[in-house]
Amino acid sequence: MRVLLVNNFVRHGSGVDRMVRLEQAFLSAHGHDVAARLSGGPFDVVHVHNTVPLDTTATAQRVRALWDDRPARDAMRRAARTAFEERFCTDVFGRNLVTALEQLGRSRP
């Protein structure tokens, strides 16, 4: 299944941000094709996190409009790649994971 995850990542991370990354890893590990940006659609499922979609039809229409607007989609893809490289690449993720595990170890008796 092709899944698009949509999330408003916050500057300093949040529980929702971590949950979205875990969901992406979980779905990928179970054979699903997961994207955090619009590329290679169409998607079977669009899972919207950490937003306030008061009108789900409007949200779906905006996703479709973005899919149909290649320049906007390409700009979003470049911005997502930059954010990934700055915040989620293997080195950064590894450092954050080590820090989290060290903190967890210190909090246990």
Q: Output the pLDDT for position 109.
A: 67
Each of the 109 residues of the chain gets a pLDDT tens digit; together they read: 778 777 776 666 677 778 888 888 888 888 888 876 655 557 777 777 766 656 677 777 877 888 888 898 888 778 877 877 787 677 887 888 888 888 888 876 6
Q: Kindly report the pTM of this predicted structure.
A: 0.43
Give me the pLDDT at residue 40, please.
Answer: 56
pLDDT at res. 37:
62
What's CA 18's distance to the chain center, in Å? 9
Three-state DSSP at 66 gives helix
Q: Which of 10, 38, 36 is nearest to 21 (CA)?
A: 36
Amino acid in the structure at residue 14: S
